Amino acid sequence: MSDGQVGVILYVEDDAVVRLSLASALEEAGFSVREVGSGTEALAVLEAEGDGVRGLVTDVNLGSEPDGWAVARSARECDPALPVVYVSGETQEAWAVQGVPNSVMIAKPFVPTQVVVALSMLLNTVSGTT
């Protein structure tokens, strides 16, 4: 996949080891990844580069505010159909209450391939409806 097809995937994770592992898997799958370590950094990227972001992968608990739920809501203000994948130890009930529509929640611990597949499916759904 080229940047022209899917744009940049914004990946928000405060744990550097987890971030490196999943970012590598996403890049190996052909995605261009913009990694950040906090919700504040993610919001700055969305403000500066929102039109270029074609998908969001975010941890829910980022260690400080804003959390992943807030990042996803802000991202959806930029693009109401933006694919969102949450990765977290949070429960499915929390996702049902806090998550944005048409998103996916993957529980930690996870295998990076799970996130790659979920993101790809969401991107295919969005591109199939536009």
Q: Give the other-Cβ count within 10 Å of 70's Cβ.
A: 17
Residue 38 three-state SS: coil
Q: Give the other-Cβ count within 10 Å of 74's Cβ.
A: 17
The secondary element (H helix, E strand) that includes residue 63 is none
- Say if residue 109 is preceded by a cis peptide, omega within 30 of 0: yes
How many Å apart are CA 126 and CA 45, to the nearest integer? 21
List pLDDT tens digits, range 10-55.
Answer: 999 999 999 999 999 999 999 999 999 999 999 999 999 878 999 9
Does 129 have pLDDT greater than 80? no
Q: Tell me which of 72 and 6 has the higher pLDDT.
A: 72
Does 2 have pLDDT greater than 70? no
Q: What is the mean pLDDT of residues 74-95?
A: 90
- State the pLDDT at residue 128: 67
Predicted structure pTM score = 0.90
Please, which residues have CB within 8 angstroms of residue 26's CB and are 6 or more apart in sequence?
9, 11, 33, 57, 112, 115, 116, 119
Alpha helices in 9-49 (DSSP H): 16-28, 39-49
Domains and CATH numbers, the chain: 3-123 (3.40.50.2300)
